[in-house]
Amino acid sequence: MCGRYVLASKLETLETRFGVTAPVDLKWEANYNISPGTLAPVIASNAPNTIQLFRFGLTPFWAKNSMLLFNARSEGDRNPNNNPDYKGARDIINKPAFRKPIRSQRCLIPADCFIEGSRQNKLNKPYVVYLKYKMYPFSFAGIWDSWRNPETGQEIYSFAIITTPANAVLQAISHDRCPVILKPSDEKLWLNPDTPLSKITELLTPPDPEIMNAYPISNQIKSPKNNSKELLTPIGPTIFKEEETNAIQIRKQYGFGRGN
């Protein structure tokens, strides 16, 4: 699962990175502990040139009550054992809560890193998982929906992060799932409602573990009330040793360009 992530990048950075603009009245401050129920920036298919604030945790348009579906499995009900070598159908297209959004209501979810724990310890022993070589902010592949509260009439826009089986980095911390992280070159395809569904499902694969790493942090992040950069302070070494390399060349190889 991916239920906590970090976005400390400023709106100006997001505008440059994603080629979008933020409304002058949009208020955003660094959040080091984005959790379900929190408003967070997205770039959604209904306004692909604009940054909006949607709620983390999707409520389908047909729901009778508010929900917080913060993750959407790319395999749907298939692959119940989270086999990391799974190559079968991306059955998200048939799940009632997700089959409409995956076809026409997709979004980019900007992030700087995310938080995970092992399947046994969860956030009692959390890790920061990040892209190496300063490849941030990046984007999770997301879906969104709008739901009208039948009691108040309020319309709520919300989103979920799509997940896949764990790659080698998530497996190393004994976690079963991994968020889909889009390559910059695939972001416009993801937002475009005319992109064939077959192409969309092809993008639902684990990110390359060679550009990822993780390190342990305090379990203070377990409480959504805690929110400061000190939460990301390492309390141990990275999972994998990082060798010196040409970071600029690698960023360009993965499409992040010189500005990241």
Q: What is the pLDDT along the chain (260 residues), one digit of tens a residue?
A: 689 999 999 999 999 999 999 999 999 999 999 999 999 999 999 999 999 999 999 999 999 999 999 999 999 999 999 999 999 999 999 999 999 999 999 999 999 999 999 999 999 999 999 999 999 999 999 999 999 999 999 999 999 999 999 999 999 999 999 999 999 999 999 999 999 999 999 999 999 999 999 999 999 999 999 999 999 999 999 999 998 787 888 888 888 864 44
Residue 223: both structure tokens together: 């409480």
The CB-side HSE value for 117 (13 A sphere, CA atoms) comes to 16
> Is residue 66 in a domain?
yes
Instruction: Identify any residues that bridge with 55 across adjacent strands, giving them in sequence order.
Output: 39, 158
**2 part of the active site:** yes
Judging by beta carbons within 10 Å of its beta carbon (0-12, 13-18, 19+), is residue 147 exposed, middle or buried? buried
Task: Return the number of other C-beta atoms located less than 10 Å from residue 76's C-beta.
Answer: 16
> Is residue 225 in a domain?
yes
What CATH number corresponds to the domain at position 190? 3.90.1680.10
List Cβ neighbours of 85 (8 Å cut-off, separation of 6 or more).
165
> Is residue 260 in a domain?
no
Domains held by the chain: number: 1
> Is residue 258 in a domain?
no
**116 part of the active site:** yes
> Which structural domain range is residue 212 located in?
4-253
> Is residue 12 in a domain?
yes
For residues 202 and 148, what is the distance between their CA atoms, to the nearest angstrom?
32
For 85-144, the pLDDT digits (tens) are 999 999 999 999 999 999 999 999 999 999 999 999 999 999 999 999 999 999 999 999
Task: Return the number of other C-beta atoms located less than 10 Å from residue 86's C-beta.
Answer: 16
For residues 144 and 191, what is the distance between their CA atoms, to the nearest angstrom?
11
The catalytic position among 107, 116, 178, 187 is 116
Instruction: Identify any residues that bridge with 58 across adjacent strands, giving them in sequence order.
Output: 69
Q: Quick one: which of 195, 82, 72 has its CA closest to 141? A: 72
Using an 8 Å Cβ cutoff, are 45 and 32 in contact? Answer: no
> Is residue 81 in a domain?
yes
The catalytic position among 2, 107, 113, 178 is 2
> Is residue 96 in a domain?
yes
For residues 37 and 166, what is the distance between their CA atoms, to the nearest angstrom?
25
Three-state SS string across 172-233, please? HCCCCEEECEECHHHHHHHHCCCCCHHHHHHCCCCCCHHHEEEEECCHHHHCCCCCCHHHHC
> Is residue 216 in a domain?
yes
pTM as predicted: 0.95
Residue 151: both structure tokens together: 């009691």
* Cα dihedral 247/2/216/210 (nearest 10): -30
